[in-house]
A and B are shown apart, each in its own frame.
Chain A
């Protein structure tokens, strides 16, 4: 049974991928067929995921792999395979379930789109690729699926390709993540060079197991950092986070999928998956590579929280919240709290999907308006959206007890607080929590309370096909809080392979009160600042320069424009110039020499050889003309000539003799 399931684990990603291919082959007008196929694919994936998940529940630390040789080159075989362990199973469940909710929501959200069918093909493709990342037991297979995820995100961010900003955002996402992926690929090559295998787990011979790790030795730090480059790109970590907010150009369900279940989760998942590489040779739980992860995570989390305060686009605020939450997860992984980070990733998947779909519902209700300053007073008009959004907001802010994000955030804080290297990340994380609560309160107040403004005049609640996924996800966000509670650290134990036991005393911890107080402080601060918010932002009035700094995303895009992109363009211009002037010049010089030689031979031919032939023929023709004039055709004239000639001959004869 176990064997059969693990061997056929590939069916989970294959189901949505197959659905995607079938939908792509359908005519664009077969709208319902496309949606139904996509959902069937996702339901199959979800069912199989549940089956796989149930397998991993029983023995702690369950891990089963299925490896096989993909192809041979020379003596060496390239082996790939799939792995089923708690990490993969939990991710499978999250991706399949959140994905399904987003698929159903899309039916309502994209109802009026002319490329509805194609949209579902891409969604299925995206989901399938991400499921492939999760089950991969080979760095190569993971990389392949990873790139497929990148491709799918490109297609979906640029789905409204007729909008130039969407096309540019898709390109930006693709190129930015590609920069990280280059590092990732170099890391793979280095790893293969050292350990001779790309399999994670292979009965003790995999690169994450003892033998492989020993073979790696000191280079593990560099390999880990290179692989982390890929994670930085995909998970939108500083300095490659710039694509993530721009990715908001895509349809909102796509944003939900990118930010919750797929794409950005891939980066965090990757670090968790290859964690042994990062923690190799750890002294007291600290390695150089992990310290880098922590630093990047802290910078990202704080920076994104600050930027989020200055944004007015409903989806951009959520995008920056994702960036900051991902930073938080990276910090958690870096300080050794792998389980806490993954739990936050899973909880985040649910509530961020909820928030994005809620935002989608708001946007749908407000005629595609994104600016929160133009909304307001939607609480009564869209009650279901309001309530579910509030749940998502509470979960994101990290309100403990009833909302999933609270517990996981607290676990992360707990892990960070005990990091031996430095206490700084802990304090910065606390600041980040206040900021998160602050910007989410700001968003809630702008959208749902106060007076109705321009865009909310005709707002209406969305159809059940859109609100149902919201309700499901909101319930998940609350139910997960029970599963994630530290009093019964079941999921924690499940992920780390330890058995959990119920202990209510763990609940009462100083960090609980600290985080509770901070979240409350953040929300209260938000209320205090934004209570009378109108068309302008109170912070903008108070601190215009600082606010401008945040609103313009700390001018990072401009900085990149001036440095990296300007440099690239300069290099491109220089290459272009060299091409046009140096190489083209050489080619033209050779061409010119050929032309000169050609004109020389032409002249010789025309003036020399041709002229001689022409002269000869003209002469011949002239002689012929003179000769032919003698031929009168008159037979008697010939006869006379003969007569005269004979006479002359006679005279000559007579004269000579």
Chain B
């Protein structure tokens, strides 16, 4: 089976959909973070796939962006997890349904 761009895009879309589904439906804050990480990973996969199947040779721009986005995702995970811990200390729960202080 020859890897084609379509195959990568299908995998990427699947990954994104799973991430989105997780972010939208899970009640646990950490699972939502995981969903967001999945969507980020799908985006990075797209960058690399479009770079790999684009006209060659060219500078590795897609790879650079992917590496940057992985670094940013790591930083984002740090911030997100720290927030989850802070919120947990306050609410004694990680169930996002109960974080409704901003309700109008």
Contacts and interface: CB of A to CB of B under 8 A. Distances in A.
Interface string B34-71: 00000000000000000000000000000000000000
B24 A643 contact: yes
Contacts of B32: 636
Interface of B: 20, 23-25, 32, 96-97, 99-104
A639 B19 CA distance: 12
Given A636-B23, A643-B24, A628 B99 contact: no
A628 B96 CA distance: 19
10 contacts: A632-B100, A632-B104, A633-B103, A634-B97, A635-B96, A635-B99, A636-B23, A636-B24, A640-B24, A643-B24
Contacts of B97: 634
Nearest to B27: A636
A634 B96 contact: yes
List of 10 A-B pairs having minimum Cβ-Cβ separation, nearest first:
A628-B104, A633-B100, A631-B104, A633-B103, A633-B102, A640-B24, A635-B96, A632-B103, A636-B24, A639-B24
B101 A633 contact: yes
Interface of A: 627-636, 639-640, 643
A629 B96 CA distance: 19
Contacts of B24: 636, 639-640, 643
A629 B23 contact: no
A643 to B, nearest CB: 6
Contacts of A628: 104
Contacts of B101: 633
A620 to B, nearest CB: 14
A630 B32 CA distance: 22
Contacts, number: 33
A634 B100 contact: yes
B13 to A, nearest CB: 13
A456 B24 CA distance: 126
A252 B101 CA distance: 99
A634 B20 CA distance: 16
A629 B20 contact: no
Given A636-B23, A643-B24, A629 B100 contact: no
A633 B99 contact: yes
A65 B20 CA distance: 128
Nearest to B35: A639
A627 B96 contact: no
A639 B103 contact: no
A643 B21 CA distance: 10
Nearest to A628: B104
Nearest to A627: B104
Which of A627, A636, A643: most chain B CB closer than 10 A? Answer: A636
A627 B104 CA distance: 8
Nearest to A631: B104
A114 B97 CA distance: 95
A253 B23 CA distance: 118
A643 B24 CA distance: 9
A373 to B, nearest CB: 106
Contacts of A630: 104
Contacts of A635: 96, 99
Contacts of A632: 100, 103-104
B54 to A, nearest CB: 23
Contact of A643 (B20, B102, B103, B104): B20
Nearest to A630: B104
Nearest to B26: A636
Contacts of A629: 104
A625 to B, nearest CB: 9
Given A633-B103, A634-B97, A634-B99, 16 more contacts: A629-B104, A630-B104, A631-B102, A631-B103, A631-B104, A633-B101, A633-B104, A634-B96, A634-B100, A634-B103, A636-B24, A636-B25, A636-B96, A639-B24, A640-B24, A643-B24
B91 to A, nearest CB: 12
A639 B23 contact: yes
Nearest to B25: A636
A643 B16 CA distance: 12
A634 B104 CA distance: 11
B55 to A, nearest CB: 25
Contacts of B99: 633-635
Nearest to B36: A639
A631 B100 CA distance: 9
A561 B100 CA distance: 96
A348 B104 CA distance: 109
Which of A628, A630, A635: most chain B CB closer than 10 A? Answer: A635
Nearest to A632: B103
A628 B102 CA distance: 10
Nearest to B32: A636
A633 B96 CA distance: 10
B96 to A, nearest CB: 6
Contacts of A627: 104
Contacts of B96: 634-636
A636 B24 CA distance: 6
A633 B101 CA distance: 6
Nearest to B96: A635
B42 to A, nearest CB: 14
Nearest to A635: B96
A639 B96 CA distance: 12
B66 to A, nearest CB: 22
Contacts of A634: 96-97, 99-100, 103
A640 B23 CA distance: 9
Contacts of A636: 23-25, 32, 96
A626 to B, nearest CB: 10
A627 to B, nearest CB: 7
A630 B102 CA distance: 11
A422 B24 CA distance: 140
A640 B100 CA distance: 16
B70 to A, nearest CB: 23
A632 B99 CA distance: 10
A628 B104 CA distance: 4
Nearest to B103: A633
A631 to B, nearest CB: 3
Contacts of B102: 631, 633
B61 to A, nearest CB: 25
B18 to A, nearest CB: 14
